[in-house]
Structures are given as structure tokens and as C-alpha cells.
Amino acid sequence: MERPAWAPQGIDISVPSVSRIYDFYLGGSHNFEVDRAAARKAMEFMPGLPKIMQANRAFMRRAVNYAVDAGITQFLDIGSGIPTFGNVHEVARRATPDARVLYVDHDPVAVAHSRAVLDGDEQSDVVAADLRKPRQILDSPAAGLLDLERPVALLLVAVLHFLQDEDEPYAAVAELRDALAPGSLLLLTHASFEGIPLPAERAGGAVEVYREIRNPLVMRSREQIARFFEGYEMVDPGLVSMPHWRPEGSTDQEDPYAFSGFAGVGRKA
């Protein structure tokens, strides 16, 4: 297998990666055949997976604009993935030129690409770190880009469902919350069997594909997802399907798959 010039040395390009699979779903070019094969296998069970990813990105754009309108100019995007068109810093800068964005991912390909995209950008940076270890993120030199004495928008978009219960995801999210100033926002999406226009058994086939590539997908209920917002006041309309979070127009023409899972924004009191 030939290694593309953009692939960092030291990564095993024979093993699928969730961030490269996500990149494939979004129409990106930074994925290998092994990633595309896993993606296509999951799509045999859930053909609407790309629509779900697109709904995630659309929610992220609306939520970032909401944060800017609320006066927030600092963004901490954990599980940021491979940069594709319409990144957080691009969306935020269109609304406010002084936006600062710190991206965090533990995938070497995602980190390498983010570094290339952000080269020369003094208001953005990337950290190779893991959501399971919040201190690794908060204590990194790059975290100095953000002033944690002022409100920050914390993005956990399509990432928490990759944390098993034994990874203590609620504790990790609470530790990050405690490090943020009052007025900070949590922008979150999470996969769930609720809302998927398929029987759970069939959708479970796609979940099984992720388990096979050693990145198990944890489908949580709305109630379990709501627990991540402890210590936050929910912003209207609360925890809803992604297209229903402050839509910019009618949602009547949305693909049924876009309503899979949940999205919400909370404000730290």
C-alpha cells in the first residue's frame, strides 16, 4: 500500500480511523481505502450515515454563530477531526475576526492536517490529546491561546459516543466544565438509536462495524445524553434532533437520517 505524501510517518495506514471515515462521509480526500471500505460496510446497514455527518456539521455552524452572537470569541473543539471546508475557525472568523480556536484530536492524521491548515494562523492551534484526559488538554502549552478566565465555547461534536462508560465520559465533561468561566457554552451532539429511521437491530449492524475496527460506538438515550449538561442551563430549544436546533429555515425537506441522535447547547451559570 502506497503511503500518500500527506500521511504522517509512523501511522498504520492498514487500520481504519474514525476521523478518516468521517472525512470520507463528508466528501473529503484524506482517507485510505481501508477507511472507505469500513464506511461502505457501515452504510450497508445505515445508508444515511453521510446525511447524519452533514447534519452534525450544519448544527456546528449554527451553534458557533449562536456563540459569537452571545459574545463568545474563544472556541475549544475536542475531537475536531480532519479539517474540511467550513471548520470552526472559518465559521467563527466570518462572524468575528478576532475568534481564537484550539483544536484537539488524538488521531495523528487529523493533527497533522490541522497543523498544515493552520500554518501561520496565530489565532488558532491544535493539540494532540485525548478527551479522556482533560488535564492533558488544559495543561498543554497551546491551551495558553485561550483565556480560561473568560467564556469559552466547548465543542464536543460527534465525539462522546466514542467514549465507553468505563472511560468515565461524564467525569471528563465535568472536569472540562469546571475549568471554564461562567457564561461558557457546551455545544454537543451525540449518536443515539432514537430518531434513526430504521429498526434498532439494523442500525446495530453499523454500530458493529465500528466495534470491529476497535472504535466502538456507544448509542446513548436522550436521558443519558442530557446528563452531559449537568451544571449547564440548556439554551432553547433544549436537547433536540440536529435539524431542530435553531433551524435557519423549514426542516420539512431534511433527509430522515438527519434527525438521528441529539444536539444541544448549554450555558454554564
Residue 148's domain is classified under what CATH number?
A: 3.40.50.150
pTM score > 0.75 for this model? Answer: yes
Q: Is residue 29 part of a domain?
A: no
Residue 118 structural domain? 50-200+218-268
Give counts: helices (H), strands (E), the chain.
Answer: 9, 7
Question: What pLDDT shows up at residue 151?
Answer: 98
Q: Is residue 165 part of a domain?
A: yes
Q: Is residue 23 part of a domain?
A: no
Question: What pLDDT shows up at residue 145?
Answer: 98
Q: Rounded to an integer, what distance in angstroms lies between the CA atom of residue 83 and that of residue 41?
A: 24
Instruction: Please list the ranges in the chain whose pLDDT falls under 70.
Output: 1
Q: Is residue 24 part of a domain?
A: no
Q: Is residue 119 part of a domain?
A: yes
**Which region holds residue 43: left if phi is over 0, alpha if psi is between -120 and 50, else beta?**
alpha
Question: What pLDDT shows up at residue 1?
Answer: 62
Cα–Cα nearest to 113, from 213, 215, 11: 11
Cell reading at 81: 477531526
The total number of structural domains in the chain stands at 1
Burial 26-43 (b: 16+ CB within 10 A, else e): bebebbbebbeebbebbb
By DSSP bridging, strand 262-268 and strand 100-105 are unpaired
Q: Is residue 17 part of a domain?
A: no
Q: Is residue 7 part of a domain?
A: no
- SS3 of 187, please? strand
Cα–Cα nearest to 74, from 185, 153, 157: 153
Partnered with residue 99 across adjacent β-strands are none
Q: Is residue 127 part of a domain?
A: yes
Question: What pLDDT shows up at residue 130?
Answer: 97
**CA distances for 221 relative to 195, 228, 243, angstroms:** 10, 12, 18
